[in-house]
Amino acid sequence: MPDPTRDDAPTPEHIRGAVHTLTQVTAYLHTNPPLADVLPLLTPLLDEYDGILLRLSQTFRELGHYLDQDVYAAHDINLAEAADYYYDAAAVLKQWSALDWPIPILRALAEQPHPATEHRHSGTDGACR
């Protein structure tokens, strides 16, 4: 991949599209689809090396760096503090990027025949608790 330029900058619409896609995944999971149908969505989402948590971590780290490089950062404690918050968030998300470890376990479960059962977090009305 070539080095990005300012001409390659994503637009707010790109970001909204990504957020909308995550909203769709959340709504889809709420329908209790078969695990075999969910796994293809989880794999790229949780990938340790290219998943959303890692990418969001990298974005927050770069945002912290960007704020640190700002000409006002040396003179504005609030800007420096904001940069620290993004660095901290990046570190937490990086740790959470290890959520890909259950994927092989889930894949093995999806390959086993399972009788239809009620969602374990559902009450009688089907709502997650």
Half-sphere exposure (Cβ direction) of 62: Cα atoms closer than 13 Å: 6
Report the distance separating Cα 41 and Cα 33, nearest Å. 11
For residue 106, the tally of other CB atoms under 10 A from its CB is 16
From 109, 108, 69, 67, select the one nearest 85 (Cα to Cα).
67
Amino acid at 111: E
DSSP code of residue 48: T
From 127, 122, 109, select the one nearest 39 (Cα to Cα).
109
pLDDT digits (tens, 9 = 90+) for 27-78: 999 999 998 899 899 888 888 888 888 899 999 999 999 988 876 666 777 8
pLDDT at 127: 54
Residue 102 has pLDDT above 70, yes or no: yes
Mean predicted lDDT score pLDDT of the chain: 82
- pTM score: 0.72
Q: Is residue 128 within 8 Å of residue 122, measured between CB atoms?
A: yes
Report the distance separating Cα 38 and Cα 43, nearest Å. 9
Using a pLDDT cut of 70, give the percent of the chain over it.
Answer: 81
